[in-house]
Amino acid sequence: MRFFASWALRCLRWSYFRYFIPAKLDAQFVERGKRAEELAEKRLSYFRLRRGKNRELHFRNYIVAGRPDFVTRDAIIEVKSSIPRQFFIPYLAQLNLYMLMEGKRIGILVLVNERDELIKTIYVGFSRFIVKQCIAYFDALYEHIKKSVIPEGVIDSKICSSCSFSRRCGNGFRKV
Ligand code: SF4
């Protein structure tokens, strides 16, 4: 099975659906992401950024794949056009998995405010604890997929109301 680092520590039910159903990319969202990366690349040029490459982590039952936005000599850089509070932990998880893939100890989350052309940087040290949580998460996902059992969802109105699988799941319309 092939999973993606960007799924780590999100709602497990979301990742279950995502495994079977390809993402429908929103053109506006993709365009916004590209502009954020371009701005970050310009502003952080002193880091001597390189574009990240496709990487894989191989576990006994599955592969976790991903590609960091940028890599420097010492760090991984992941650019976001927004960091909603409910996605902060999954973003940290993604960053840590990229650090593991690239053998780096520092991760930098870059938040780009396109309107003001401002960027904020959040430095993160590599965390074995978070990586262990990610592995436990993907182990659980693997088991659910193998047994064809849909996992429990997070049932968090902030997450569910904007979830691409809310209709299929049924939790998107439930008040917490
Ligand atoms: S609607 Fe909520 S519980 Fe259901 S998959 Fe999406 S995030 Fe998970």
* Distance (Å) from CA 78 to ligand 1 centroid: 24
Asked whether the predicted pLDDT for residue 41 surpasses 80, the reply is yes
CATH topology of domain 2-173: Lambda Exonuclease; Chain A (3.90.320)
Name the band, by pLDDT with cuts 50, 70 and 90, for residue 1. very high
* Distance (Å) from CA 123 to ligand 1 centroid: 29
24-28: Cβ within 8 A, 24+ apart: 24/164
Question: Average pLDDT for residues 60-82, to the nearest whole number?
Answer: 94
Asked whether the predicted pLDDT for residue 155 surpasses 80, the reply is no
Query: What's the pLDDT at 176?
Result: 37
Q: In the chain, where are the structural domains located?
A: 2-173
Beta strands 106-113 and 118-125, pairing class: antiparallel
| Runs of H (alpha helix) within the chain | 12-20, 27-43, 88-102, 128-147, 157-160, 166-169
Give bridge partners of residue 107 from the DSSP assignment.
76, 124
Does any ligand 1 atom lie closer than 6 A to the CB of residue 171? yes
Other Cβ atoms within 10 Å of 157 Cβ, number = 15
Question: Average pLDDT for residues 17-43, to the nearest whole number?
Answer: 87
The pTM for the full model equals 0.90
With a pLDDT cut of 90, the percent of the chain lying above it is 60
Note the pLDDT tens digit of each residue in 77-92.
999 887 788 889 999 9
Mean pLDDT of the chain: 90
Length of the chain counted residue by residue: 176
